Amino acid sequence: MPDDGSLKSLVEQAVVGDSDALTAVLFLNRDRLERLMSFQIPVSLRRRLDAEDLVQEACFRASRHIRGFNPDDYELFFAWLATIAQNVLKDAMRRHLGPGGSGGGKVQHGAGDSSAMLLSEIVGDRQGSPSSQVAAEERIDRVRAEIGILPEKYREVLSLIYVKNMSAVAVSEQLGLTESAVYMRVARGKDMLRERLGSQSNFFS
């Protein structure tokens, strides 16, 4: 990963339309993003969904929205990109499982619903022993509580996406925001959560 000055320069160039800079900054984050997506794919869908494909689609969407990214927030670039990838995953889950996340069958994914699963990248792995699953559920409850006390514009967006499990497109339509604005509010809100949750947050490690 380049130093802060180099990263900021790449992001600034990407935002103003430099395709080489955009390719470079996406490449720098690709492996980390693929690891995150591999972690988030539900067990029941791992034979049908591929992390590399999800990341490819996320990078394509990011290239369409990059002009809406504030280069002064370059340190949040990965969080912004991860939010886009997360929405790609949610779209894929809806295609395979249906709007309710069940697809008419039983979903084998830990012990929670899809919105709880989508919180798991903040609080850690929800798979493992029963005691670790209980601890993860408790951490998820804390995340939801922390979301509830964020400033309104961040609380609203995070609640719609993580608690009500809405897509960024649906949130943008409901709130009258651009998709880029939704992604940026999610990224900033997650950064606030990271600071508040401290060691309970592994998303930005």
The pLDDT assigned to 167 comes to 78
Q: What is the pTM (predicted TM-score) of this model? A: 0.59
Work out the mean pLDDT of the chain and round it to a whole number: 77
In DSSP notation, the chain reads ---HHHHHHHHHHHHTT-HHHHHHHHHHHHHHHHHHHHHHS-GGGTTT--HHHHHHHHHHHHHHHGGGS-GGGGGGHHHHHHHHHHHHHHHHHHHHHTTTT-TTS---STTS-HHHHHHHHHH----SSHHHHHHHHHHHHHHHHHHTTS-HHHHHHHIIIIIS---HHHHHHHHT--HHHHHHHHHHHHHHHHHHHGGG--TT-
The pLDDT assigned to 172 comes to 86
Distance CA 14, CA 1 (A): 16
Domain extent listing, the chain: 4-200
Residues of the chain above pLDDT 90, percent: 20
pLDDT higher than 50, residue 45: yes
Which residues, at least 6 apart from 35, have a Cβ–Cβ distance to it below 8 Å?
Answer: 51
The pLDDT assigned to 131 comes to 56
Q: What is the pLDDT of residues 62-115, one digit of tens each?
A: 999 999 898 888 888 998 998 899 889 888 888 877 654 444 333 333 333 444
How confident is the model over 31-59, as a mean pLDDT?
88
The pLDDT assigned to 53 comes to 92
Q: How confident is the model at residue 3 (pLDDT cuts 50, 70, 90)?
A: low
Q: How confident is the model at residue 180 (pLDDT cuts 50, 70, 90)?
A: confident
